[in-house]
Amino acid sequence: MLAIPISTQTSTTISDLYGNVPFFALLDEAEGNFTVIENEEKGNGLAIASFLTQYGVTSTIFYHMGEGVYSSCMENNIEVYKATDKSNTIDEIFFKLSNDDFIKLDKTNYKDLLDSGTTSCKCGCEK
């Protein structure tokens, strides 16, 4: 299950937020269908990964994410992928993910790929 941050319950594109995103689309990578859940940890980026694992999430994708949230994902065994275009729709994400078109973060590249999107991030990252 892949968690995609979205801005509204009916959004079809990835949000540029992560820690403060109000909803996640949970994409079944095998079937291609998704459900939307409310982010009960909105504003508490470090708790989001633990929250998402309750829904069977094993991976996530982001447009902006801080180092604290990324570290939390790693601690919860959630793979993290970088979206380079915030206009990516859920359908495009499914297609691109199945074709390995996204960069998976790991200990060799995460510092170069993370971007909290703010200069005063409160998630515990270095920005």
- Could you read off the pLDDT tens digit of each residue along the chain, which spans 127 residues? 999 999 999 999 999 999 999 999 999 988 889 999 999 999 998 999 999 999 999 999 999 999 999 999 999 999 999 998 888 899 999 999 888 889 999 999 999 999 877 644 444 444 4
Collapsing DSSP states into helix, strand and coil, what is residue 52?
A: helix
d(CA 66, CA 96): 23
- Domain boundaries along the sequence of the chain: 2-113
Residue written as token pair 């993370």: 114
pTM to 2 decimal places: 0.88
What integer pLDDT is reported at residue 97 of this predicted model? Answer: 86
Tokens matching residue 4 = 């995609």
What integer pLDDT is reported at residue 121 of this predicted model? Answer: 46
CATH of domain 2-113: 3.30.420.130
What integer pLDDT is reported at residue 84 of this predicted model? Answer: 84
What integer pLDDT is reported at residue 118 of this predicted model? Answer: 61
Going by C-alpha positions, the residue among 40, 78, 44 that lies closest to residue 62 is 78
